[in-house]
Amino acid sequence: MEPFLNRFFPSVLKNMGNAEQNEYCTFDTQILTLFTSSLYIAGLVSSLIAGHVASAIWRRGTLIAGGIIFLIGSALGASAVNVEMLIFGRLLLGFGIGFTNQSAPIYLSEMAPPKWRGALNSGFQLFLGLGSVVANVINFAVDQLGDSGWRISLGSAAVPAIIMTVGSIFIPDTPSSLIQRDKIQKARQSLTQVRGNESDIESKLNELISHNEARKAANSQPFKTIVERQYRPQLILTIAIPAFQQLTGINIISFYAPVLFRSIGFGLDGSLVASVILGVLNLAAALVPTFFVDRLGRRILFIEAGIQIFMSEVAMAMIFAVELGTKGTAQLSKGSAIAILVLLASLGCAFGWSWGPLTWLVPGEILPMEVRPAGQGICTSMNLLITFFISQTLLRMLCTMKYGLFLFFASWVIVMTEFVALFLPETKGRHLESMDEVWQNHWFWHWYAKKPVMMQELDSVEGRC
């Protein structure tokens, strides 16, 4: 929005009015990049803290804490009078996101029955998509209100923060979390509350108690335990999957789509409308895993989406190469601009039914209870770390690499799709407490799940020493 740019980023507004400005470089300014990326570095730090909090106290408490911090950050952003205040509010938003992104997937995984776990976890991404659509609609609606417009836009983040904070007060804590704090009766009530009068309530409760007792007997500390050999498969996948998610190129849509559309000649209103269209399509795509992830499985959605994203990004690179070349002083033709919008929609939809929801679903499924909070904290931290680096460098990369930026992301999509095909086991329909069989039957990870006799002997010798 021009009033927002004029107050906080006047150099960007000046570039937009320069007819000789390279379209690839219009928004390449460090202070604007800092505004965007500050959220993610704050989220990185807080997600690690949230892992300790979730282990020490309870899952629900971290959701409440995250909501309160986010609420304060949204108030600071809406009332900002200088760029320092704006960025500080953005940092608090990041802290809130770190807490909630760490806790929500764990909460969903631990509360959902196995046959519904994929669908319910997909709701996490569905509501992210809904939030994106609502945000873009609000931006479009308040665009003509001057200074009050962008303040309403930033301040409206307080609404979901209030809903989450108040709502978290009334939901039960997870049975796993309650058992870890020796609240067995409350754990039984929690299981009954979410699963009704299923016949296996007591057996499920006893299974959770046994796992918790084994964890206590080992005197494990989650962040130390997860680096041990037997948890190597989970640790590698927990790091790789969230890192790969951000290397799909989705960031082009998620926080720079309006910037990109303005850069290629859509104009302000056109860029906001295009962003709304993309948001609606991505929201629709987020419904796909709700219906199919527990039927088709996780791997097939990852692999199909990888092929679709790769083709979309290569096609975009070709259009930019032909229309704008490297100088970027021309504007895209109307037909090419529409083609870019369609290809971005294709990329966003593929992400919406694969790397978007599954990045939060799969780690929560594969992590054993004794390392689950630590692993989810690592997952969230890695996701935010890569997001920070990409958000910090994306506009510079676009200015420097031009259309080659899309080929850069396409090459990563090849790597991650092959990685999933080779190393990600299928987890649909599996109980969280029976994942050991998955690793023992995997062609590669069984070397870690089942220690060779020589490794057992070495461990024994090391223990005696």
CB 174 within 8 A of CB 117: no
pLDDT band at 459 (very low <50, low <70, confident <90, very high): very low
Q: Judge whether 48 and 381 are in contact, CB under 8 Å.
A: yes
Q: How many CB atoms lie within 10 A of CB 297?
A: 15
How many residues does this entry show for the chain? 465
Please give the backbone phi and psi of residue 327, each rounded to the nearest 5 degrees, phi first: -75, -35
**Residue 95: burial class (beta carbons within 10 Å; 0-12, 13-18, 19+):** buried
| Residue 17 CB coordination number (10 Å) | 7
- pLDDT classification of 227: cutoffs 50, 70, 90: confident
Average pLDDT, whole number, for the chain? 81
Contacts of 156 (CB under 8 A, 6+ apart): 74, 135, 138
- Enter the DSSP assignment of 464: H
Q: What does the DSSP assignment read for 157-211? A: THHHHHHHHHHHHHSPPPHHHHHHTT-HHHHHHHHHHHHTT-TTHHHHHHHHHHH
Instruction: Please report, as a single letter, which amino acid is at residue 284.
Output: A
Q: Per-residue pLDDT tens for 10-59?
A: 887 777 666 566 667 777 777 888 888 888 888 888 877 876 666 665 67
Higher pLDDT, 67 or 435: 67
Structure tokens that stand for 16 in this block? 């937009």
Q: Are 395 and 70 in contact (CB under 8 A)?
A: no
The whole-model pTM stands at 0.70
**Mean pLDDT lowest for which of 131-145, 316-330, 346-360?**
316-330
CA dihedral 169, 378, 359, 450 (to 10 degrees): -120
Three-state SS for 28-58 is CCHHHHHHHHHHHHHHHHHHHHHHHHHHHCC
Q: Which residue has the higher pLDDT, 180 or 257?
A: 180
* Token pair of 34 as six digits: 């800092």
Q: Which residue in this structure is represented by tokens 């056109």?
A: 270
Which CATH fold would you assign to the domain 2-434?
Growth Hormone; Chain: A; (1.20.1250)
- 419 falls in which pLDDT band (50, 70, 90)? very high
Q: How far apart are CA 206 and CA 188, in angstroms?
A: 10
Task: Report the distance separating Cα 198 and Cα 210, nearest Å.
Answer: 20
Which is more confidently placed, 430 or 17?
430
Which distant-in-sequence residues (6+ apart) come within 8 Å of 68 by Cβ? 96, 161, 165
Q: Which two tokens stand for residue 408?
A: 């850069």
> Per-domain residue ranges for the chain?
2-434
Give me 139's structure tokens: 């931006």
Find, among 239, 225, 228, the residue nearest to 370 by Cα. 225
Q: Do residues 142 and 155 touch, judged by C-beta distance below 8 A?
A: no
